[in-house]
Amino acid sequence: NWGRLSPHVVLLPAMLKRAGYHTAIVGKWHLGLHSPDKPTDRGFDHFHGFLGDMMDDYYNHRRHGINYMRRADTEIDPEGHATDLFTQWAIDYLQQRSRTKQPFFLYLAYNAPHTPIQPPQEWLEKVKQRESGISDRRAKLVALIEHLDAGIGKVIEALKATGLDEDTLVIFTSDNGGQLSVGADNGPFRAGKQDMYEGGIREPMCAVWPGKIEPGSRSGRVALTMDIFATACQAAGVDVIHEIDGVSFLPTLLGEDQPDEDRFLFWVRREGGHYGGRAYYAVRYGHFKLVQNSPFEPMELYNLAADPKEEDPLGRDHPMYNLSLIHISEPTRPY
C-alpha cells in the first residue's frame, strides 16, 4: 500500500549467493506480487510458499478470494493446513540439500500465529483437555502456536536426520508481540501487536549452532531484526561492502565480549484504517526509549531500566527527550 521494495536494496539471499550458497524461502513473502518484486527476482533460487500478506483461511489459503500459493512462478493449490504445508516443504528442501555439498540458506516464514486463529481441531482439543477453564479465544491461540512449535520441531529433527545440523546456524524469532485481541499474553510488558510499547516490539530470539554456541547460554543484548543480515553474512564469511544499518551480533552468539554499540534504534509503522496512513515511531538509546504509540498520541519518554513496564513517563524537560526527537525528525537515506 505504501510503495514497493526498492530495486536498489541488496537482500540477504543475494549476499549469500556470492559465497556460493543455494538460497530458499518457504512460506510468506509479502514484498510484492509481480516481477521484478518476487522472491526469485530478488536473490532466492527456490520459492515454495505464498506471495500475499496473510490468508483468510489456513486450509484454502486464499486472500480476498485470490490464490497466492506458488512454487517458483507456478500457481499451486495444495491441500492441508498452511503450517503443515510449510513444515513439509522445508523438510523437503533440507532433504534435497543433504544430497549436495553446496551450503544453503533457508528462510522459513510461517504465517502462524497470524489471524485467523484457526488451529487444527485435534490441537485445540488437546489444549482444552490440559487446561480446564481456559477461554475458547485463548485456547485457539495457544493451540495454533503449539501446532506451529511442533512444526518447527519437525524441521529441526529433519535437519538432524540429514546430518546437516552440525554445520547449520539456526535463528528463530518473531516480528512482533502477541495480538491481545485474540488472546495473547505478553507477560509483564505493556500492550501488544501494532503497539510501540515493549509488548508490541520486544521479542525473544533463539539461536543454535552446535560446537559454536554454548547450549543454554543467554544474553540480554538488545538487537534489531535487521541485525540478522550482518550476522548471517559474518557467519558465512561474506563481506558487506555497502552501507547498512544492521550490526552483527555473531560475537555475542559465540560467547565473546561484545559491548553495546553507541547507536539509536528505530521502529516505524504505517497503517491504513483508522491510522489514516500516518507513521508512528519508537526510538531507543541505551535504556531510554521515546514512544509515540499511535499517530494521534504525544511522544512519551521512558527509562526501561527503571520502568520496564513503561508506566511512568519522564518529563519533556529530560535531555533525552529532545535528543531522541531530533533523531526521529532527521531524514533517513533512501532505501
Q: How does pLDDT run across 203-231, given as a tens digit for each residue? A: 999 999 999 999 999 999 999 999 999 99
C-alpha cell belonging to residue 287:
535504556
Which set of grid coordinates corresponds to residue 335?
Answer: 532505501
Those residues of the chain that have pLDDT short of 70 are: 1-2, 329-335
Identify the pLDDT of residue 272: 85
Q: Terminal CA-to-CA distance of the chain, rounded, Å?
A: 16
Distance CA(207)–CA(160), nearest Å, equals 15
Cα separation, 320 vs 73, in Å, equals 50
Predicted confidence (pLDDT) per residue in 191-206, tens digit: 999 999 999 999 999 9
Strand 300-303 versus strand 288-291 pairing type: antiparallel
Find out whether 245 and 283 touch, Cβ atoms under 8 Å. Answer: no
Q: Which residues pair with 109 in a beta bridge?
A: 27
Q: Which residue has the cell 543454554?
A: 216
211: left (phi over 0), alpha (psi -120 to 50) or beta: left
**pLDDT at residue number 327:** 72
Find where cell 508512528 sits: 280
Nearest-10 crossing angle of helices 136-161, 82-97: 10
Q: Are 50 and 27 in contact (CB under 8 A)?
A: yes
CA distance 195 to 179: 10
Pairing mode, if any, of strands 104-109 and 22-28? parallel
Please give the DSSP secondary-structure letter assigned to residue 314. B
Residue partners of 212: CB distance under 8 A and separation at least 6: 169, 253, 254
- The torsion angles phi and psi of 246, rounded to 5 degrees, stand at -70, 150
User: Which residues does residue 289 pair with via DSSP β-bridges, in sequence order?
Assistant: 284, 302
User: What pLDDT is recorded for position 271?
Assistant: 84
Which DSSP string corresponds to 133-172? T--HHHHHHHHHHHHHHHHHHHHHHHHHHTT-GGG--EEE
